[in-house]
Amino acid sequence: MKDRDASDIEITLLLEAVFQKYGYDFTQYSEAHVRRRIMNRMSLSHMNTVSELQNAVLHDELIAAKLLQDLSITVTEMFRDPGFYKSVRENVIPILKTYPFIKIWHAGCSTGEEAYSMAVLLKEEGLYDRTTIYATDFNQQALNQAKEGIFSNEMVKEYTLNYQLSGGQESFAGYYTADSEHVIMNQALKKNIVWANHNLVTDSMFAEVHMILCRNVLIYFDKALQNKVQTLFYESLTNGGILCLGSKESIRFSEVFDAYSELDKKQRIFKKKYKE
């Protein structure tokens, strides 16, 4: 049997300490992702060993908060992957229009840019007033920023281009107010978004919904956790419900693969088959 590297053992002990002390379980996250984020935090904190970081995490809540922020996934942008949103307009909206009311779960919403993007799309399609978007994440700091809906204006040019490429029908500038440093999303876009803390690793079914978006989150999980979360999504969707994953994610090797049909193979949009 090959001996484990000492740093691997230290990382295992650190993750166990984080779970025991703070209740966040990263043990089924991708090893490469976890190691990269831990080593980066050690460098920023001028620490030489993982054990040193573990001691700090257990006794210093500020260091712990920084590590939790590091390990969570906060990469996002407005209308990220415009082709996906264009496909939603073409392939998903006609289905959603058949419902008298619509419930959408945006799992792993991070700082909220993509939840606001969906709100914009639904508004333009005449569906927002009968929709509730449940936007969840385990990172409370990210959720607080999402709820505020205040973002740096440095990305507005890129966001505007994304919006246009996604099939946007209005002037994107009409959805926010701006000052010299920030853009503030309109209150009308916030009214039907419910922000909530939910951990895909440890929490159970959130709600029965017509559509789930969880894009570019599962790539940070190991195979067992991916399968667990896929089952959670399946159980949370109504018959005929829509599942939207990221461009590098798939249900192909999950236990629920046969329970879906593909609406758009390229954009990773799936429809739950009807059960008897």
Question: Does the structural domain 82-272 have CATH classification 3.40.50.150?
Answer: yes
- Cα torsion 262, 266, 267, 269 to 10°: value is 10
Query: Higher-confidence residue: 74 or 156?
Result: 156
User: Using alpha carbons only, what angle is made at residue 137 by residues 135 and 140, rounded to the nearest 5 degrees?
Assistant: 115
Mean pLDDT of the chain: 89
Any long-range contacts for 245-250 (C-beta under 8 Å, 24+ apart)? 245/214, 245/215, 245/218, 245/269, 245/270, 246/81, 246/214, 246/215, 246/216, 246/217, 246/218, 246/219, 247/81, 247/84, 247/215, 247/216, 248/216, 248/219, 249/215, 249/216, 249/218, 249/219
* Span 137-161, average pLDDT: 91
Residue 1 has pLDDT above 50, yes or no: no
Residue 2 has pLDDT above 80, yes or no: no
Residue 116 has pLDDT above 90, yes or no: yes
* Span 234-259, average pLDDT: 90
- Per-residue pLDDT tens over the stretch 255-272: 888 999 999 999 999 999
- pLDDT value of residue 96: 97
Residue 6 has pLDDT above 80, yes or no: no
> Mapping DSSP to helix (H, G, I), strand (E, B) and coil, where does residue 56 land?
helix
- Per-residue pLDDT tens over the stretch 31-88: 887 888 888 888 888 888 888 999 998 998 888 888 887 877 666 889 999 999 999 9
- Parse the chain into domains and list their residue ranges: 6-71, 82-272
CA atoms of 89 and 95, how far apart (whole Å): 10
* Span 94-105, average pLDDT: 97
Query: Higher-confidence residue: 1 or 197?
Result: 197
Q: What are phi and psi of 97, to 5 degrees?
A: -65, -15
Q: What are phi and psi of 141, to 5 degrees?
A: -65, -45
The pTM (predicted TM-score) of the whole model is: 0.82
CA atoms of 241 and 95, how far apart (whole Å): 9
Nearest to 228 by CA among 46, 27, 1, 22: 27
Nearest to 135 by CA among 35, 33, 29, 211: 211
CA atoms of 155 and 75, how far apart (whole Å): 13
